[in-house]
Amino acid sequence: MEQSGGFFSFLLENLTQFMSYTGFANFTIGHGIMILVGLFFIYLAIAKEYEPMLLIPIGFGIIVGNIPFSPGYQIGIYENGSVLNYLYYGVIQGVYPPLIFLGIGAMTDFSALISNPKLLLIGAAAQLGIFGAYMAALLIGFSPEEAGAIGIIGGADGPTAIFLSSRLAPELMGAIAISAYSYMALVPVIQPPVMRLLTTKKERLIRMKPPRQVTKLEKILFPIVGMLLTTFIVPSGLPLLGMLFFGNLLKESTVTKRLADTAKGPMIDIVTILIGLTVGASTQATTFLTAKSIGIFALGAISFVVATFGGVMFVKIFNIFLKEGNKMNPLIGNAGVSAVPDSARVSQVVGLEYDKTNHLLMHAMGPNVAGVIGSAVAAGILLSFLS
């Protein structure tokens, strides 16, 4: 009987110890909220098809990062030696964003921008959202470094937001990255009302001249000249701008097709999986559910609206100085943010609502790719005076 009693005591003690290690014993309301957020992202990706390539890795990462556990087993993303911690290294050291830019460069056609260089100005004007959010963040009490990292959300560029926040405010990186990717996914929802509010029906019907044909030599020279010009002006943007233009040269040279295919295919897919999963997993309830995160989400929404405002209003003002027949349709102004090609598609969709034969996509791609360059330059500017 004594042996039997000892066995049951041993069994009960181990069972109790096992239960204390389970997720059920360590579960908090915060974990539950974050798991629901992750499920919501997955729902948006599958049911609404909002940026599924980004929202599914991020949403699943949020769930992974919020599975409750007892510390000390080297399984959490913030525990040294864990697999997730090693994968997260590429985020906190800013390794993944330049690799993403390499892939973006290899898949981007700058022809629309080369054929009509003034579209570059729209991409610059839309960066107003970055500096607007930066000033708003300063006003509500964020430090200059935090405000700079938050402001970059207005560039509608997730990799740039991660790169800059890893340098300026790593403690806010999870909230900034989630906010940036969330609003990128919601571009088709956020931008159209602002575009309709700022334009008249007559302006929405403006037809633009077809872009001229761009020569192969121009396409090859563009990434070389573009890299030299932008990085001489903003050397701190070199990791992003250098990789962007390098990827584009791989594409346009036409003699490195295998390298370009790798950069825009398997490589960018692998990095997207790693960056999405680890950024999502970094949003643990204890570090994410704070008043600062709510402020970042609010500022992110404002920055997108301001960026759209800046792009559309710039085209309207620029049109004052253009002759009849050369005017630009202000509906392409929203595409100055660097959410490629989603914001350009929004220009096309809204334009077709008023004229089924007026296709704006090609014209909108000019400011859209300019926005990629513009957000990287803006990140370099912020980095140069805040780091």
Average pLDDT of adjacent 10-residue blocks, the chain of 387 residues:
71 83 86 93 89 89 91 85 93 91 94 89 86 89 91 82 88 86 83 94 92 93 96 92 96 96 96 93 84 88 89 93 89 86 90 93 90 89 85
For the chain, the maximum distance between any two Cα atoms, rounded to a whole number of angstroms, is: 102
pTM of the predicted model, to two decimals? 0.87
What is the pLDDT at residue 1? 55
> Is 235 in contact with 376 (CB distance < 8 Å)?
no
Q: What pLDDT, on the 0 to 100 scale, is given for residue 288? A: 81
Say how far apart CA 387 and CA 376 lie, in whole Å. 16
Per-residue pLDDT, 2: 56
Q: Distances in Å between the alpha carbon of 78 and those of 66, 90, 280, 368? A: 12, 13, 13, 36
Are 172 and 41 within 8 A, CB to CB?
Answer: no
Looking from the CA of 189 toward its CB, the CA atoms found within 13 Å total: 11
What stretches of 186-290 show up as alpha helix (H) in DSSP? 187-198, 201-204, 216-233, 238-252, 257-262, 268-281, 285-288
Q: DSSP letter string over 57-110?
A: HHHHHHHHHT----TTSS-STTSTT-HHHHHHHHHHTT-HHHHHHHHHHHH---
Distance CA 199, CA 362 (A): 20
Question: Residue 99: its pLDDT value, please?
Answer: 95
State the CB neighbour count (10 A cutoff) for residue 310: 24
Q: What is the pLDDT of residue 131?
A: 86
